[in-house]
Structure 1
């Protein structure tokens, strides 16, 4: 790698290889923090040095949660407007290696399971779900596709329902979600469910069944596919560089 032709987020060319050499010798929290700032840009973009560093991060990833996380963040941004298609193409072998490593790591049911799961989604080019999939411990808001009322959806510890959020009364007019049957899943939903189920991640697997199921709008009683509307509501917006 000719680092003199590959800049980081600060348009510097020498600091990233120095940090990689340091981390290959010994892990250091501050060095990892600085490396992340130099490789991953704001607005979900990645610097050219990020792709240049990816093969070395993958080599570190089997024994380093920091390396797995940072390599995953780079892959999550691989579909962005980074202008580094050639650098990304050069990472093809490293990406194949990373895929196998992530599968093996997931089978150990690690503490960083969700971050690893998202990284695997990115490696499989499911960039949208890699960016937005959470642990189902929060509420999700989206507009009903039929009447445009804002619907609050709970999947997880708070319940599994759609409702109208009233800031004084809480969630009112709750409607139970209708989870998809596992055998009825297809495409990325089926793939996500089978990985989580394989690894015994029951909460994640159950959340995926509900996410790819149906919700009823409390406003107009129409039924819609939750994943379709959630994906549409969370689709990344293109960046206008002329502003």
Structure 2
């Protein structure tokens, strides 16, 4: 790794390797804190040093929650405009190993389950779902009806599971119940997400996923469409 070209968010090329060595050797809390704000800005921007550090962070992740969290944040930001596609491609093997580590962590049913689940989704390359998936207690998704282009609000939470037209004065109006997918009918990332949640006993998460990958009725034109397909087509990043 030519660290002389791997600048961080401050433009420095020598600080990150030093901090990584301190974090690995001493589990230095100050070093971890500084790595966090040098490798990822608050607006989720990442830099060459972020991807240069990723393989090492992934190796440390098995014994360090700080490394696991920082590596996950970098992976989630990989869909952004960072100009480091060649560096990201070079991290493919490290990301694959990191994905396996995250899966083992999920099986332990940790306190940070949802954060780890979202990092796992990002490691699968499904950045749009990683960015928005919640715990389905208060989740909303905005999609355009593919038939009449109406902006439809999809609600999946303890208060209801419905499609509606959002009126900022009256709230969600003309609600229509969602039609959840059957677990057997799921495929692709939806199937993986659901099976993982079921395996780990995350009942609410699993049920929410069947609704997210199910069908909705447009309150405007009454047509039926697949929620996940419409959301993904509008929000999947161009890689």
Scaled to the shorter chain, the TM-score interval is 0.7 to 0.9
Tell me the SS of whatever aligns to 1:63: coil
Give the match for residue 174 of structure 2. Answer: 173
Provide the C-alpha distance between the structure 1 equivalents of 2:224 and 2:95, rounded to a whole number of angstroms.
Answer: 39
Residue by residue over 1:120-147, the C-alpha shift from the partner in whole angstroms, topping out at 9 and shown as x without a partner, is 2222222332233222223222222222
Q: Counterpart of 1:135?
A: 135
Task: Report what 2:193 is aligned to.
Answer: 192
How far the C-alpha of 1:99 sits from its partner, in A, is 1.9
Correspondence for 1:234: 235
**Partner in structure 1 of residue 104 of structure 2:** 104
Conserved? CA contact 1:41–1:47, under 8 Å: no
Tell me whether 130-139 or 150-159 shows the greater mean CA deviation.
Answer: 130-139
Q: Distance in 2 between matches of 1:151 and 1:92?
A: 37
**Structure 1 regions of 5+ residues with no counterpart?**
239-243
The alpha-carbon distance between structure 1 residues 219 and 96, as it changes in their structure 2 partners (threshold 3 A), is closer
- Measured in 2, the distance between the counterparts of 1:132 and 1:112 equals 16
TM norm structure 1? 0.86
CA distance in 1, matches of 2:164, 2:147: 15
Distance 2:95 2:151 in 1: 39
Q: Does the 8 Å CA contact 2:79/2:237 hold for their aligned counterparts?
A: no
> What residue in structure 2 maps to residue 144 of structure 1?
145
Runs (5+) with no aligned partner, structure 2: none
| Conservation of the 8 A alpha-carbon contact between 1:65 and 1:112 | no
Contact 2:39–2:47 under 8 Å retained in 1 = yes
Q: Number of aligned residue pairs: give it.
A: 237
My pick for the range that moved more, 36-45 or 192-201, is: 36-45
CA contact (8 A) 1:196 1:205 kept: yes
CA 1:220/1:86 → structure 2, altered by over 3 Å: closer, same or farther? closer
Distance 2:78 2:169 in 1: 42
Residue number in structure 1 paired with 2:14: 14
The answer on whether the counterparts of 2:5 and 2:13 sit within 8 Å (CA) in structure 1 is: yes
Alignment match, 2:32: 32
RMSD after superposition = 2.3
How far does the alpha carbon of each residue in 1:17-54 deviate from its partner, in whole angstroms, 9 at most, with x for none? 222223221241x5434322221257654211111111
Q: Distance in 2 between matches of 1:88 and 1:173?
A: 45
